[in-house]
Amino acid sequence: MNIIGISAFYHDSAVALIRNGEICFAAQEERYSRIKHDASFPSLALKDCMRRFQLRAQDLEAIVFYEKPFIKLERLLETYLNHAPRGFASFRKAFPLWSSEKVFQRQRIHKYLQKIDPSFATSKVKLLFCEHHLSHGASCFYPSPFREALVLTMDGVGEWATTSVQRGFDNQLFKEKEIHFPHSLGLFYSAFTYYLGFKVNSGEYKLMGLAPYGKPIYKKKILDHFFKIFDDGSFHLNQKYFDFAKGLKMIRPHFCELFGLPVRQDGEPITSQHMDIAASVQAALETVVLHMTEKLHKQYGGDQLCLAGGVALNCVLNSKIQSQGLYKKIWVQPAAGDAGGALGAALYYWHQSLNNPRTLNSEDSMIGAYLGPSYSPQEIQKELDEMGAVYTRPSEEELVKSVAKNLSQGSCVGWFQGAMEYGPRALGNRSILADARDPSMQKNLNLKIKYREGFRPFAPAVLQEKAKDWFSTDSSPYMLFIADVFTEGDQTAAPHSDTQGFERLKEVRSPLPAVTHVDHSARLQTVSKQTNPLFHKLLSEFEHQTGVPVLVNTSFNVRGEPIVCRPSDAYRCFMGTELDLLALGPFLLKKSEQKKSMDPNFKKSFERD
Amino acid sequence: MIQNSTHKAEDKGTEALKQIDRQHRFKVVERFTHFISRLTNPIFLGVFFFVIFTPFAICYRIFSSQSFRKKERNAATSWVANSTKGSIQLENQF
């Protein structure tokens, strides 16, 4: 039985395929359309999924959409009822869209499906609608290694819910309680993302990355003015400071007055006050969520927690929940954002509605999140030939040795292997790799390869069995937790210095300076032989050559570009950046041997995020 | 015969010109209607929003217990307990 899950029409639209309960495929539309955070119906991803698994409409049992459009429409209408006559500017823009997007959602989806396969018109495939936060909950509970767990989902907003508590037992998942719009931790964080001059729904990582440069001196102010925290762990967000409910902007003038600072515009310098605000927002978020998890643990007990929703992509927060020590085991869905809703919606139908049993996996059922499209050597070679690329085809041993050697000599390598990752992180199949020991690597990668802000940190990939020698944790397969980087030898966290702001970037904080953030942490990925044998082999070879089982692992893209999907995307990115080497499946490409010259306009072809 | 084919070619040329003219006129009409809709939409929506929707919204806020402010006033929690036990109905859009 084939079930398709779909998320679309807000941001990060995606498709997932469940076949007899097994997760077979999942991919975001942005990877195909090459539009970052693409919100349109995932036609290209669905078409590719159906082609790869040779599916026609009649082969599908159901298509499950990740949220309920009428309840969302009700929330939109009720929000305007609560604010009119204020809110006309956004009402004028939103109202014409409601008729097409919300009221006729079913017909709209049918039209898209018929464009992909005309037989959808006559097929009996069911079109179903899950709830937004149940989709998130299902996406993290069902693939988790837990038979029983408390499920906490937090994001901007779904239909009404912004935070949801669910309980999962075996194949059953039930909603316990939720916090409703406009009281939203996701929107609170996004408001500050906007205030600090980053793009909403995209720049939240930047805020998180900026936080360690500052001091949380505004934390109390934020908690006092913005939050009313209740004894049971819930909260109210003071709407005096926010405009997202009814306006076209995220914040109101009172917000800026509180910090005595206007909204930072893109391109303006980041000051120490911006850094302090970022640090304070992160600290305030942690305080609210840790209070919530403490109360939830008191009420529901248990020692296993599943997390999903956009807020669960905040790896610093996830680690704080882990350090809190109430839950012995925490599992976070790698596609915790809205893209993951596609997977959750399909899983909810399979397990909950059809009452099919779960098969527990000791790790999890996400297959390392390598759920997207993969390309055969023949397909790769065809695309390379079409693009006039110059390549060699060494044996796997030679390829791994050559890449490891080049990395150890300071080269930056594009690494394109196997199935594409599902979710926002590149986990070693669509990655740019570099030597983490090089103190200048962070700056070089940011400015010459990724073309992004110099302050942003890079993540390390480490052999799982060696992680404990270098970091304060031994398991983080999806880069969803942070850990302290050890100094050489004594395994104590590196000492902190008194340098301030971006000056701290110049410090060498550990033997792995390219991946050690200014607070001496790293958002690491532990690589196991079972989930990614080739990447494991490369890390092992790098360790053999250098004694260090760690590499910088960043997504294979430039600023504003979705992670590469096809071999041709990878080749274009290779030729548009200062990457030295590209390992594309079994093929090896050296920049110096290419007949074509570098494309100087490549980085400009994507809208900056 | 030659005259006939010349006539046919002329006819085809005239038809093509007419087609281009029609397309041009269509574009002009399209732009004009787009301009009108941009002008009238805010007016119609404005009348709807301020004359019909706003009075209704004010009444709603006064009489409904579900308004944001009433729900939040003196609230001791913001948790909303799930009232429907069991699975949700996926067939419905609500």
Mutate to test the interface with B, among A82, A104, A107 (most CBs of B within 10 A): A82
Q: What percent of chain A has pLDDT over 70?
A: 98
A70 touches chain B (CB under 8 A): yes
How many CA within 13 A on the CB side of residue A64? 33
Q: Which among B57, B77, B82 has the least Cβ separation from residue A176?
A: B82
CB atoms within 10 A of CB A5: 32
What CA–CA distance (Å, rounded) separates A492 from A153? 34
> Which chain A residues are Cβ-neighbours of B87 within 8 angstroms?
352-353
Region of poorest pLDDT, from A70-74, A109-113, A450-454, B39-43: B39-43
Chain A: give the shortest CA distance to residue B35, in Å: 16
Query: Quick one: tokens of A406?
Result: 């080049």
Average pLDDT over residues A211-223: 96
Interface contact flag, A234 B77, Cβ < 8 Å: yes
Give me the tens of pLDDT residue by residue for chain B, a chain 94 residues long: 555 656 666 677 777 777 777 777 777 777 777 777 677 778 888 999 999 999 999 998 988 877 787 778 778 899 999 877 777 889 988 8
Interface contact flag, B93 A70, Cβ < 8 Å: yes
Give A81-95 pLDDT, tens digit per residue: 998 899 898 888 888
Give A464-494 pLDDT, tens digit per residue: 999 999 999 989 999 999 999 987 644 455 5
Asked if residue A346 lies in contact with residue A135, where contact means CB atoms within 8 angstroms, the answer is no
A234 touches chain B (CB under 8 A): yes
**CA distances (Å), A364 to each of A331, A462, A464, in order?**
9, 19, 16
A168 touches chain B (CB under 8 A): no
Asked if residue A56 lies in contact with residue A216, where contact means CB atoms within 8 angstroms, the answer is no
Query: Which residues are CB-neighbours of B29 under 8 A, at least 6 positions away?
Result: none
**CA distances (Å), B4 to each of A117, B9, B14, B18, in order?**
48, 9, 15, 21
What CA–CA distance (Å, rounded) separates B3 from A168? 85
The pLDDT of residue B2 is 52
Give A412-446 pLDDT, tens digit per residue: 999 999 999 999 999 999 999 999 999 999 888 98
CB atoms within 10 A of CB B23: 10
| B68 Ramachandran zone, left/alpha/beta (phi>0; psi -120 to 50) | alpha
Choice between A223 and A596, residue whose per-residue pLDDT is larger: A223
Cα A131 vs. chain centroid, distance in angstroms? 21
Q: Is the pLDDT of residue A13 over 60?
A: yes
The pLDDT of residue A491 is 47
Among candidates B70, B60, B86, B84, which has minimal Cα distance to A178? Answer: B84
In chain A, count H helices and then E strands: 19, 21
ipTM value of the model?
Answer: 0.88
Average pLDDT score over chain A: 93
A85 exposure class (CB count in 10 Å sphere: 0-12, 13-18, 19+): middle
The pLDDT of residue A597 is 78
Interface of B with A (CB under 8 A): 41-42, 45-46, 49-50, 53-54, 56-58, 60-61, 66-69, 72, 75-82, 85-88, 90-94
Q: In a 3-state reduction of DSSP, which class is residue A262?
A: coil
What CA–CA distance (Å, rounded) separates A567 from A572? 9
> Which chain A residues are Cβ-neighbours of B38 within 8 angstroms?
none
The pLDDT of residue A382 is 97
Mutate to test the interface with A, among B59, B83, B93 (most CBs of A within 10 A): B93
